[in-house]
Amino acid sequence: MRSPISGYSRLTKVQKFTAAGVSAAAVAALAVAAIPGSADSDKQSIAVKPVAWSTEAFGVQDQQEQIGKQADNAAKLAKAQAEAKKKADAEAAAKAKADKERAEKEAASRSEERKPVQAAPAAPAPKTYANNLDGWIKEALDIMKAKGIPGSYNGIYRNIMRESTGNPNAINNWDSNAAKGIPSKGLLQVIDPTFKAYHVEGTSWNIYDPVANITAACNYAAKVYGSMDNVNSAY
């Protein structure tokens, strides 16, 4: 809003303060001139102390302090933002470096020569044996070899043919063992106590089982005669 004096703007606060100071000084001067008892011919000069005023009296200093504080706060904020940006840039650079190293390692790993996966060797098929005298002797010999029991195909075959003529269910009911109630049984005519004492682990406990009968008889012959090959008669 314009003042009543056309063409002039409203006075600023500082201008108003200055004008007020000048007015106060003028009032003081007028007061001195009006002191009673002063004669024109004998004028006394009286020292008038100027009215003191300052920016502090009118709040200007407070305003300047506020401006100074705002400038300090702005400087601190700018510094904090700069430090935060610097930290963020450092973290971004470190992450970019780590990502690059990881990508390079993955690329190197993919580029390495892939060795073909070798299949595990197939387990050998279990050995089969014929269900006859030849198969029984061969199976018994494999078990005896694993257990360290001596004997040969010919020595076993020869004694079987003499004792039972190859009949796995043969039984002697007329010799001295039979008279005692413990007849000889099976391919190699073994009595029950001998079979139990020299039974070979992993074979049947049935005395008439061909393989169990052969291995038990050969185990007994190895202990008494050194081998079934050394047996040429009843034993």
Q: Which residues of 134-168 are buried (b: 16+ CB within 10 A; e: fewer)?
A: eebbebbbebbeeeebbbeeebbeebbeebbebeb
Closest CA to 172 of 154, 181, 185: 185
Confidence check: pLDDT of 3 > 50: no
Q: What percent of the chain has pLDDT over 90?
A: 45
Mean local confidence (pLDDT), 136-151: 98
Residue 114: per-residue pLDDT: 60
Amino acid type, 61: Q
Closest CA to 202 of 187, 219, 186: 219
Q: Rounded to 5 degrees, what are φ and ψ at 94? A: -65, -40
Mean local confidence (pLDDT), 165-188: 96
The CA R_g of the chain, rounded to the nearest whole Å, is 65
Residue 115: per-residue pLDDT: 63
Confidence check: pLDDT of 143 > 80: yes
Enter the DSSP assignment of 228.
G
Tokens of 128: 């089969």
pLDDT band, residue 113 (cuts 50/70/90): low
C-alpha span between 213 and 219 (Å, rounded): 10
pTM as predicted: 0.51
Cα 89 to Cα 77, 82, 83, 102, 192, distances in angstroms: 18, 10, 10, 20, 93
Mean local confidence (pLDDT), 11-21: 45
C-alpha span between 3 and 23 (Å, rounded): 20
Please answer whether residues 35 and 43 qualify as being in contact, where contact means their C-beta atoms are separated by less than 8 angstroms.
Answer: no
pLDDT band, residue 59 (cuts 50/70/90): low
Residue 111: per-residue pLDDT: 61
Confidence check: pLDDT of 103 > 50: yes
C-beta contacts of 67-75 below 8 A and 24+ residues apart: none
C-alpha span between 223 and 47 (Å, rounded): 153
Q: Which residues of 25-52 are buried (b: 16+ CB within 10 A; e: fewer)?
A: eeeeeeeeeeeeeeeeeeeeeeeeeeee
pLDDT band, residue 40 (cuts 50/70/90): very low
Confidence check: pLDDT of 46 > 50: no
Least confident range from 48-62, 83-97, 101-115, 129-143: namely: 48-62
